[in-house]
Amino acid sequence: MTTIRINDTVPGSRVLAFGDYRPARVVTNDDLAATVDTNDEWIRSRVGIVERRVAAEDETIVDMAAQAGGKALAASGLAPADIDLVIVATCSAETPMPSHAASVAHRLGIAAPGAYDLNAACAGFCYALAAADAAVRTGSARNALVIGAEKMSQWIDWSDRSTCIIFADGAGAAVVGAAAEPGVGPVAWGSDGGQSDRIRIGSRHEYIRQDGQAVFRWATTAVAPVALAACERAGVAPAELAAVVPHQANLRIIEAIARKVKAHNAVVADDIVRSGNTSGASIPIALSRMVERGDVPSGAPALLVGFGAGLAYAAQVIQIP
């Protein structure tokens, strides 16, 4: 039988740098209360959002992804020619093809990389990071650019108070390269297609609809065990974690997951307060801003956990660059 060789395997991959882009336009709770029946107090206490960012009409997912990706690339110290793979995680694509990833790569001067989009909704960044980690470890890519980018605003019914107060726009990116020691742990992931109708955009003519209470119950019960499985697989005890970065869905969900994980020494990301729920972009935006502020030391372990439509979920432990 023919043997298939994998020649250039490396012991692990690690995140070399993060970058993020948030659109300039800030929309406050009071701004929304001027057009729908809601108020600042309800949104802060039920969801935790104070303000969110909304893209300009002509600002695209590719625009935002290229901004975030360019920042991550510059911070990594690598050149465009060093990148062999570009993955864009998005569930709010304005066009089904070509892939956003190919356009982003072209914008950034990355010539001929493997390029594709991936849709695992709000878990998308963790899925894409797992794919990039595998590509780097098996020698399929020397370095990968992984981006979560969303323009949720174009799929929102701005008269529906149950969704328009939650979702927002933005992009976050990570450059992943080879490492002598693993800096990205094994992913714990899965999905429950039987609950696909809980969060959905039914067709190109429809808006986002979600069964908020059911998703809330699922997120506060089913997601923490996935996060703990990721710690177990990485051999990192929750008490060793320096940061916990759940998908920024709702501050009450974030706090419930953090409580159950019992990461007593960790900073818990609360970027939702100022960035809103940017779906697949929320984890890399939160991480990028944490690192920029110096909230977590370089080399420290952070737990990422994404969850959302699908109902897809994924978690992994990474080393902060």
Which residues of the shown chain bind ligand UT7 in the complex (CB under 6 A)?
38, 42, 46-47, 122, 161-162, 165, 199, 210, 212-213, 215-216, 219, 249-250, 253, 277, 279, 308
Q: How many CB atoms lie within 10 A of CB 221?
A: 12
CB 188 within 8 A of CB 226: yes
Q: Name the residue nearer to ligand UT7 (CB basis): 17 or 256.
A: 256
Quote the CA–CA distance of 78 and 86 in Å, as a whole number: 14
Q: Verify cis geometry, omega within 30 degrees of 0, for the bond prior to 16.
A: no
User: Which of 91, 122, 126, 231 is an active site residue?
Assistant: 122
User: Rounded to whole angstroms, how far apart are CA atoms 317 and 302?
Assistant: 6
Nearer to ligand UT7, 215 or 236 (CB): 215
Q: In the complex, what is the shortest distance from the CB of residue 222 to ligand UT7, in angstroms, rounded to a whole number? A: 11
Spacing of C-alpha 65 from chain mean position: 12
CB of residue 277 to ligand UT7, shortest distance in Å? 5
Residue 112 Cβ vs ligand UT7, minimum distance, rounded to whole Å: 34
Q: Is 264 a catalytic residue?
A: no
Residue with smaller CB distance to ligand UT7, 66 or 219:
219
Query: Which residue in the list 29, 143, 250, 277 is annotated as catalytic?
Result: 277
141 versus 253: smaller Cβ distance to ligand UT7 = 253
Distance CA 107, CA 105 (A): 5
Nearer to ligand UT7, 47 or 287 (CB): 47
Q: Known catalytic residue: 277?
A: yes
CB of 167 to ligand UT7, least distance (A): 8
Nearest residue to 127 via CA among 226, 203, 200:
226
Pick from 268, 84, 97: nearest CA to 178: 84
Positions of E strands within the chain = 12-21, 25-28, 51-54, 85-89, 114-118, 143-151, 169-179, 188-191, 199-201, 208-210, 243-246, 267-268, 301-308, 312-319
Is residue 29 annotated as part of the catalytic site, yes or no?
no
- Nearest approach, Cβ of residue 293 and ligand UT7 (Å): 24
Residues with active-site annotation: 122, 247, 277
